[in-house]
Amino acid sequence: MEKHRTLSRSGAELHELGLMAAARALRNGDVSSEELAGRLLQRARAHADLNAFITIDEGAVLEAARHADRGIRARRSDPLLGVPLAVKDSYLTKGLTTTLGTSVLAHFEPMRDAVAVSMLREAGAIIFGKNNLEEMSYGLTGLNAHHGQAKNPYDGAHVTGGSSSGSAAAVAARIVPAALGGDTVGSIRVPASLCGVVGYKPTPGRWPTQGVAPISGTLDTTGLLARSVEDCELVDSILIRSPLRGADATRDLTGVQLAYAPRQHLADVAARTETAFRETLRKLQDAGAGLVEVDLGGDFLALTARTTWPIFFHETMPAVREFLASNDVPVSFEQIHAGLGEHINASWSRAVVPSGADYVSEERYLTALNAGRPELRRRLASIVFGRADALLFPTTPCAAPRIENQWMFQVGGREVTDTFLARNTHPSSSAGIPGISLPMALSPEGLPLGLELDAASGRDSDLLALARRVERVIGPVPGPG
């Protein structure tokens, strides 16, 4: 009991606990779930200016924590028993407001959970709250016209990235140890990079997507934002119903082959991002990794652009309509469209609805799906994964831009738009391969930069094990002040 009192007297350490560490502390009696939840609720109130959450039901969180404490005393062994975890507000949550980031669903309380949420509840997790996001997950900066701009915990004048904006901010600010997110072209990995946390996008289909508002059935994945790879491994084991792999005791990277493609992934990136990436490569090589420089082709960026965006835009309307109908969501596609904020409404009007000037024809869509995507997959398989264990690159080409410049900003003396933030991440989505972003360094301004590792389709367990070894070599990046 003395150990419990020492840990909990000030509560100063509790918010630093990750999922695995919190579960262990709860099982050992070092802290109660109610005390942990209470401490995190205090932090949520203290950091309300970040706009990381749309909904938190404090009473329900504390009651769930008290229920978990009774289970702990009864020696239940659920892997996440009593551990708070947040959820992007694109996931249905039974009895807890689910807005999808829109105004028209401000009071919608679903009758059932998304499958991933249900499985985590079964594992003992407490749903702490619903994270802010871009409306319908359609964006890369973190602006929500109805629920406010999500702000970067490292510097509130800068964006979080999106669309899992609140999820990344909440994890980086130590409000929660982890949060469910969603990724279509980089919506987990981009905010993970810009907010200095780990962001894991599984192979599509590995984690359940039922009950999560879609953009594209082809590109969408559910995933996690956390502060360590081991926490991603824990949630992965729960959602694929597989035993958790033991930690690799290897301290270096001897025998590991890592590919990188500077012609593609370092083109037009910020100079400080390239410097940090090359310094990271040096660390990995010093730890025993073999580095394999590859070239994905002079047309790689053009190939991925003409593959990703036609699929992304063409599949949105039918995917959203099917989701609304199959989950008894009490609004129509047209009502959602009409209620969107100006920026995203314009995007949907231009490219998502058939009357739009940039609507993707069926022919162009099928060409992307049946020609561009297979070619992208073939190229990565033959050039990269036939020679290396993983492909490495800077997750985002730059650190987080300032909020006032989020639609257009300068990188390396060149003016770019917000979609530039996903320039390195969306090829992985089009190819249907898993990726994980790790904190790599801080820029001279104190803003995070991320390192992404991609692996061949279906090699998620190997990717996570490798990412844990790489994480050890890179070392921790300081959290926000």
Per the annotation, the verdict on 118 as an active-site residue is no
> Nearest-CA neighbor of 296 among 173, 194, 383?
383
Residue carrying structure tokens 């991925």: 304
Q: Take residue 481 and report the two structure tokens written for it.
A: 């002040």
Structure tokens at 192: 């993970």
Indicate if 88 belongs to the active site.
yes
Out of 8, 33, 88, 437, pick the active-site residue.
88
Walk across the sheet containing 53-55 and list its strands.
53-55, 126-131, 84-88, 178-183, 221-226, 198-201, 435-442, 448-454, 390-394, 257-260, 290-293
Placement of tokens 């058939």 in the chain: 354
Residues of 231-257 as b/e, b for ≥16 C-beta within 10 angstroms?
bbbbbbbbbeeeeeeeeeeeeebeebe
The tokens for 341 are: 């904020």
Strands 290-293 and 221-226: unpaired
- The conformation of residue 361, written as its DSSP 8-state character, comes to P
Stated as kind and residue range, the H or E segment containing 292 is strand 290-293
The DSSP letter of residue 212 is: B
Give 26-59 as a DSSP string.
HHTTSS-HHHHHHHHHHHHHHTGGG--EEE--HH
What is the H or E stretch that residue 13 is in? none
* Options 163, 165, 428, 457, the catalytic residue: 163
CA distance 388 to 172: 31
User: 3-class SS at 85?
Assistant: strand
Q: Check: CB of residue 138 under 8 Å from CB of residue 219.
A: no
- CA 133 to CA 138: how far, in whole Å? 9
Own/partner pairs for 243-248, CB < 8 Å, 24+ apart?
244/79, 245/461, 245/464, 245/465, 247/468, 248/465, 248/468, 248/469
> Distance between CA atoms of 433 and 62, rounded to whole angstroms?
39
140, 154, 179, 206, 273 from 269: Cα distances, Å: 17, 21, 28, 31, 7
| Residue 169: C-alpha distances to residues 8, 188, 446, 471 (Å) | 25, 11, 16, 20
Which residue of the set 32, 187, 228, 429 is catalytic?
Answer: 187
- Does 429 participate in catalysis according to the annotation? no
Q: Rg (Cα) of the chain, in Å, rounded?
A: 21
Question: Using an 8 Å Cβ cutoff, are 246 and 34 in contact?
Answer: no
Q: Encoding tokens for residue 195?
A: 């907010």
Residues with a catalytic annotation lie at: 88, 163, 187
